[in-house]
Amino acid sequence: MLGSVIAAFSGISFLVLARVSTMPLPEIVPHQDVMREIFERDRAFVDDQNLFLEPRDAESDSRCRDLTLAEAKTMPNWEEILAYADKRYGKGSRNILMYDKHYPDVHPVKVCVPSQVVPIKLTGPPSCETTNATDGGNISGTHGIASIMIQQGLTLTSSFTVSNAASMGLTNAFRTKIKFPDIGTTRGGPTVFVTFTNTQAENFEIKFDDMVTTTFNMTVKEGQTCQAMETVRSCTLQGTAEVPFTATGIIWVQYDDRTYDHIEYNEKKKPHSKHYKFKLNMTEVLPEAAQRTVTATFKGSFLTTSHGQYEAVCTGGDES
Ligand SMILES: *[C@@H]1O[C@H](CO)[C@@H](O)[C@H](O)[C@H]1NC(C)=O
Ligand SMILES: *[C@@H]1O[C@H](CO)[C@@H](O)[C@H](O)[C@H]1NC(C)=O
Ligand SMILES: *[C@@H]1O[C@H](CO)[C@@H](O)[C@H](O)[C@H]1NC(C)=O
Ligand SMILES: *[C@@H]1O[C@H](CO)[C@@H](O)[C@H](O)[C@H]1NC(C)=O
């Protein structure tokens, strides 16, 4: 029987379209369900360990960077911060500092990409092709039991360009999570970490391999030749993503001459002390993140290949 199964397999690689009977395998069903559960669990969220990222750069492993004053001025509502400083501490001659080395514990001004997932949106209909593949299935066995190995899962390769760099955090590397759209699978698109440089026309690639080899057993009847057949779906897509870059932290307003808190003085009529330097929390002046946010845009294309359902196809023998 072993001889006949192996010999049969080596000779049937391309026989599938001429199959006589298609037999869903009773033995496989529970095993397949278990595999599905494993897939669901693993795919709910894919973290670093499962990823093949290029490049993987420890130094650029960051969501936030120090923000310069010149770049802070590009945020949409920057002028409101200056107007607030005027109102509160006066219009005297002053400098704005993004940090103060004398107060290292005071949260310096940073620009950050989100900790939440950034979605990739499709910019056109996907171009997909589904084929029934047999080349993933290997068959071997004894005593009429054939053990078949197939590959299941998803691979993805993509190439993106920073088509519009964000005006804050320029030329710095950032790390964020992006989510690919769900293409031809019911599992939802993969979510991956990506490190990119916020520089106009910068290219980066994301590769993702979630292919798992599964083994199942089947009974081969006298005179039959069987093989595993699975659906392989390949799609080519175009997409875009907008990554928000948001500034947070404490600005120092440093006056040439001592001044005082006008708001506190006017409201509470408290005796005031005069200082050169005042802290200003940007989030208190501009509570909406959008007021402190600029965006970078990625554009790119990606190719996915997913191996889906499988079944055994047997030809010959007694088909009853
Ligand atoms: C693949 O196999 C399935 C099930 O046998 C069949 O319904 C489908 O038409 C096949 N598709 C192709 C592209 O051969
Ligand atoms: C089937 O066997 C071939 C040749 O030994 C090997 O290259 C291939 O990876 C095997 N496929 C699976 C799914 O194990
Ligand atoms: C398939 O059969 C082999 C040999 O009988 C056995 O060792 C193996 O555990 C079986 N695999 C599954 C998935 O049932
Ligand atoms: C700035 O103000 C916001 C909103 O009141 C607050 O949540 C945040 O903790 C403050 N940041 C610092 C560094 O004090």
250 Cβ inside 6 Å of ligand 4: yes
Q: Which helix (H) or strand (E) holds 32?
A: helix 28-44
Distance CA 104, CA 109 (A): 12
> H helices within 198-281, ranges in order?
262-268
pLDDT at position 73: 96
Report pLDDT for 252.
92
Alpha carbon distances (Å) from 310 to 98, 100, 144, 168? 59, 63, 20, 49
Ranges of the chain whose pLDDT falls below 50: 1-61, 136, 186, 320
The whole-number pLDDT of residue 317 equals 65
- Residue 138: strand pairing partners: 149
Q: Mutation test of ligand 3: which of 25, 217, 310 has the most ligand atoms closer than 8 Å to its C-beta?
A: 217
35 lines ligand 3 (CB under 6 A): no
pLDDT of residue 243: 97
How far does residue 248's CA lie from ligand 3's centre (Å)? 58
Q: Which residues line ligand 2 at a C-beta cut-off of 6 Å?
A: 136, 138, 149-151, 213
pTM of the model: 0.72
Of 207, 192, 208, 211, nearest to 48 (Cα)? Answer: 192
For ligand 4, mutation pick of 283, 285, 288, 291 (most atoms within 8 Å of CB): 283
Gap between the Cα atoms of 313 and 134, Å rounded: 10
Note the pLDDT tens digit of each residue in 167-216.
Answer: 999 999 999 999 988 775 546 678 888 889 999 999 999 888 888 888 77
Cβ-contact 72, 98 below 8 angstroms: yes
- CB pairs under 8 A, 24+ apart, for 101-106? 103/252, 106/250, 106/252, 106/279
Give the pLDDT of residue 139.
61
Determine the 3-state secondary structure of 166 from DSSP: coil
Quick one: tokens of 163?
A: 């088509």
The residue among 181, 204, 178, 209 whose CA lies nearest residue 191 is: 178
pLDDT value for 41: 31
Ligand 4 centroid to Cα of residue 97, in Å, is: 17
What are 13-36's pLDDT values in tens digits? Answer: 222 222 333 333 332 332 333 333
CA gap 183, 234 in Å, rounded: 9
Given the structure tokens 């897509």, which residue do they identify?
Answer: 237
Q: Which atom of ligand 3 is nearest to the CA of 27?
A: 14
Q: Which ligand is nearest to the CA of 309?
A: 1
E strand intervals along the chain: 21-23, 52-54, 64-66, 94-97, 110-112, 118-119, 121-122, 127-133, 138-142, 145-164, 173-179, 191-197, 203-209, 212-219, 224-248, 250-259, 275-281, 293-316
Measure the CA–CA gap between 123 and 234, rounded to whole angstroms.
18
Looking at residue 308, its pLDDT comes to 76
Ligand 3 pocket mutation pick from 139, 140, 143, 147 by most atoms within 8 angstroms of CB = 147
Task: Return the pLDDT at 144.
Answer: 73
